[in-house]
Amino acid sequence: MNFRRGQGREEPEINLIAFIDVLMVILIFLMVTTTYSKFTALQITLPTADAEKAMERPLEINVGVDAQGHYSINNARVAVQNPDALAAELTAAANASGKTNPDPVVIIAADATAAHQTVINVLEAARIAGYAKVTFAAQSKK
């Protein structure tokens, strides 16, 4: 029995929505898992150094700052609070070493809880004294 005599047969259509969803998932997967190679703009060959190590270590001035804001220079406590007086102490420590190196390295070892201003005072004192090489000491976590 054919109850659909007068009706025409519907043509099947392809549902593209599911196909597009699957393609989007594949595209996202490919974008996430792709490794991007790094291209450099310039091809640079770095020079090699054949120089020997320096036999003489540079002059080091160790400046300590504790949590209360007190300073020490080369393990000797100094009673100064302003950068100008601290610069004079840095210059005196450089001259007392007897080395003829005019450009010492200032190593700042500040307590972790020291006020920022006390460390800035040491940096300002190094600038006033004309010492451009300043570094900070830190301990490594074990």
Give the model's pLDDT for residue 5.
Answer: 62
pLDDT value of residue 122: 94
Name the pairing type of β-strands 76-78 and 71-73. antiparallel
Return the CATH number of 60-136, one of 3.20.20.140, 3.40.630.30, 3.30.300.30, 3.30.420.270: 3.30.420.270
Cα angle, residue 79 at apex, residues 73 and 80 outer, rounded to 5°: 85
| Distance, CA of 76 to CA of 90 (rounded, Å) | 12
134 or 140: which leads in pLDDT:
134
| Domains of the chain by residue range | 60-136
Tell me what the mean pLDDT of segment 130-139 comes to: 88
Helix (H) or strand (E) holding 105: strand 105-110
- pLDDT tens for each residue of 23-70: 999 999 988 887 766 555 555 566 676 667 666 777 889 999 888 888
pLDDT in tens, 94-127: 888 776 666 889 999 888 888 899 999 999 999 9
The DSSP secondary-structure symbol of 135 reads E
